[in-house]
Amino acid sequence: MDDIENLKSRRRARIKAMVLVALVAGAVIVVRFSAAKELLTVARMGSFLQAAGFWAPLLFMVIYALGVCLFVPGTVLGALGAVFFGPYWGFVYVWVGALAGASAAFFIGRYLGREFAAALIGDRLKKYDDAIARNGFATVLYLRLLYFPFTPMNFGMGLTRVSFRGYFCGTALGILTGTFIFIFFIGTLKSAWVSGNWHALLSVKVFFSLGLFVFSLFIPKIIKVLKHP
C-alpha cells in the first residue's frame, strides 16, 4: 500500500514539475517571440494606464506582478513606473509590484516544483538544502544584493526549503537600493527631458543615487568580511 502511495506521489510530483516547466517556457516564448512583445512598450502601457485614471497605481502594480511571473523584462516595467508616476511614487509602486510578483512566483515554484526538486536532491545535496532553510533570509538578501537574475531566482527559491518569511524579507530589503536607483534616475531623466532642464541630472540627488549603486556593489564583499574577520 505504501509503495503504491509513493508511486502516486512521485508521479504527481513529476506532472506538477512538467506543468511548471511548460508555464515558464510558455511565458518566455509569448513575451520574447510572439506579437505580444509589441504591447510591452512604455508608450503602449503608458496609454493603458492613462485610461485607468484613479486606478492606475493599483493596475500598474498588478501588471508588474504579472510581468514578473511572465518573465517580462524588469527594465521595461520599471521604466514605465518611473515615467508615468515619477521617481518617488514610481519607486513605491515598482517595489510593491516587484514584491507581489516575487511572492507569486515563489509560491508557484513551491507548489509545482518543490516535491520533484526534493526527490532529485537526495541525501547528497540535502545539507545544502538544509543550510538554505536555516539561513534563508541571509541567503536571499546576499543573492539580491549580487543582482542575481530576479525572476529565475523567484521560482528557484520556491524549489528550496527556505521559508516564505525569510524569502520575502530578504527580497524586500535586497531590492530596495537597486530599485530606488533605477527608478529615481529614469524619473529624473524624464523630468529633465520634459522641462528641458538638463542641469537637473547634475544634482546632488542624482549623484547620491549613483553613489548608492556603487556602494551596493561592495555590500556582498563587506558582508563576507564581517562574517569572516
pLDDT value at position 201? 59
Q: Domain coordinates of the chain in residue numbers?
A: 2-227
Contacts with 85 (C-beta within 8 Å, 6 or more apart), sequence order: 57, 60, 93, 187
Length of the chain equals: 229
Q: Considering only CA atoms, which of 77, 50, 53 is closest in space to residue 65?
A: 77
CA separation for the pair 38, 31 (Å, rounded): 9
What pLDDT digit, counting tens, does each position of 20-39 carry?
Answer: 888 888 877 877 776 666 66
User: Are 153 and 130 contacting, i.e. CB atoms less than 8 angstroms apart?
Assistant: no
Q: Residue 124, class by beta-carbon neighbours within 10 Å (0-12 exposed, 13-18 middle, 19+ buried)?
A: exposed
CA separation for the pair 64, 1 (Å, rounded): 46
CA separation for the pair 113, 44 (Å, rounded): 34
User: Are 123 and 88 contacting, i.e. CB atoms less than 8 angstroms apart?
Assistant: no
CA separation for the pair 188, 86 (Å, rounded): 8
pLDDT value at position 175? 92
Q: For the whole model, what pTM was predicted?
A: 0.81
Cell 546632488 identifies what position? 204
Q: Who has greater pLDDT, 126 or 65? A: 65
pLDDT value at position 15? 83
What pLDDT digit, counting tens, does each position of 36-93 carry?
Answer: 666 667 677 888 888 888 899 999 999 999 989 888 888 888 888 888 888 889 999 9
- Name all contacts of 47-54 with Cβ < 8 Å and 24+ positions apart: 49/80, 49/84, 50/84
User: Are 161 and 200 contacting, i.e. CB atoms less than 8 angstroms apart?
Assistant: no
How would residue 105 be classed by pLDDT, with cut points 50, 70 and 90?
Answer: very high
What pLDDT digit, counting tens, does each position of 186-225 carry?
Answer: 777 766 665 565 565 566 666 666 676 676 666 666 666 6
Contacts with 74 (C-beta within 8 Å, 6 or more apart), sequence order: 67, 68, 98, 150, 151
What pLDDT digit, counting tens, does each position of 136-174 carry?
Answer: 888 898 888 887 888 889 998 988 889 999 999 999 999
